[in-house]
Structure 1
Amino acid sequence: MHIIDIGVNLTHAQFDDDRQAVIENAYAQGVSQMILTGTDLITSTRACELCDVLDPRGTRLFSTAGVHPHDAKSWNLYEAEQLHQLASAARVRAIGECGLDFNRNYSTPADQERAFEAQLAIAIEHRLPVFAHERDAAKRMLVILKAHRDSLSNLVIHCFTGDQASLHAYLDLDLHIGITGWICDERRGGHLHTLVRDIPAGRLMLETDAPFLLPRTLKPRPRRNRNEPSYLRHILEQVALLRGEPIDELAKHTTDCAQRFFDLPDVN
């Protein structure tokens, strides 16, 4: 059984001491391919470099390149030019993590929208899909995406945590949905237990968002309290249970979906 983790923050300092071991542990648990997330120019460049270092054959590790809405206030012509260059790298398979976050507003909504639309334009020019972040901003996100959808190749709402109305609106735009260990959090993710059934096969992908969002249902909890891509199997099992779907069937269609979305090679 092969599964794909579409969101791993492998550049994070929590992995500084054991990145190779983390990757090997994930492979041993059936995670055959991973997408390393870039959230600014530094992490996007680093994620691309890590793919070359940790996967010299070029079959297992790929990355995204983008500027997170938290950092949108820094967006300028230089960042746009650098992102254009990164978008041409063979390992970069999506633009992002970019989008809107009106929950924390570390950057103003206006700056977020400006940076997001600029990155959508880069994705369109390079014919790359988008790895999008949205938190408490579905209405504005939908307005922006509707204006660009005909030109975009594809877009996934990473770590979906919204309500039924936003989920169905994203699906109506023919977008993809990423589900993380948030669905294992009884405090915040209970509403996803029924919503995850509404996501059709071919639009659903799985991710850990490691080292964040350690599934609260994971027993025993790891000593370091750090999420890892090797725990994707736990999310797979939880989603399969909630969808009333055999684990191997869910693994197959989410893996097939991720391979198509990110244009990944056959790992075999």
Structure 2
Amino acid sequence: ELQPYAPDTVAYSTVMDAYSRTPSGRRPRTSRQDTSLENDEENPASRAEHLLKQMLHLYETGENPYVKPNAFTYTALMKCYINSFPGVKGAQMAEDQLQILLQEVYQQDKNGVTTATSNLVNVYTTVVDAWAKSGGGMEAAQHAERLLRDFLFRAISDPKHYNVNVHLYTSVVDTYSRSRGLGAASEAAMNILREMEDRVDLHPNTKTYTSVITAIVRSGDPDIAAKSERLLRQMTHPDSVAYACVIHAWAKCTEKGSAQKAE
């Protein structure tokens, strides 16, 4: 019998989210490949894993039907992985958890079970952000774009769970801007921007344009300043960061009159 005041999905997920915001107390790893959380109870990811296993046990055994994990639950665990294992490994662990969630959603839909998970766009964005901050260069950026393409492909047959927004697109652009991929990165970022501009259901925002400008400035192309300023003029509400990026582009430019244009 369910005990009074038994915790539900929101309660468990909120605690996991709190762990995702907790600085990792993990001891230094002896190997970069060491990602074991066993016997590491002080680690936030270990605690979050334990809570998820507890939720699954309670739900699957019928002891508590109100603790079915949802997108918020899995996102909190992903953030714990990212926090505990900065870099490529944390991003990969978060993506592995995403695949588990996708399989669960698929099985629930296949079996006609009402899923507790609605739109998965924020979950995907969390993983893409992890790749953006992973330091994985162009490989990480291309990986992030593959996630975007996967999301858009799934949206064709399942718009309920896969409803894209500007933040997912922008996170992929940001990954390219951080990738140190020079011209290839700026070209990829521009292609995604054009794709967004062609859509009728969403529009690039200030951060989108600024990330593309950053990719252009870092590309090393000779006309970075002119390209950057053209994008600045397209922005509806450019902010100080966008202006600073374009000023920096003109400062790097060697053509005559570039200093005056920066001013």
TM-score, normalising length from structure 1?
0.29
Which structure shows the bigger proportion of residues in strand conformation?
1
Q: Which has the higher helix share?
A: 2
Q: TM-score, normalised by structure 2?
A: 0.29
The structure with the larger Rg is 2
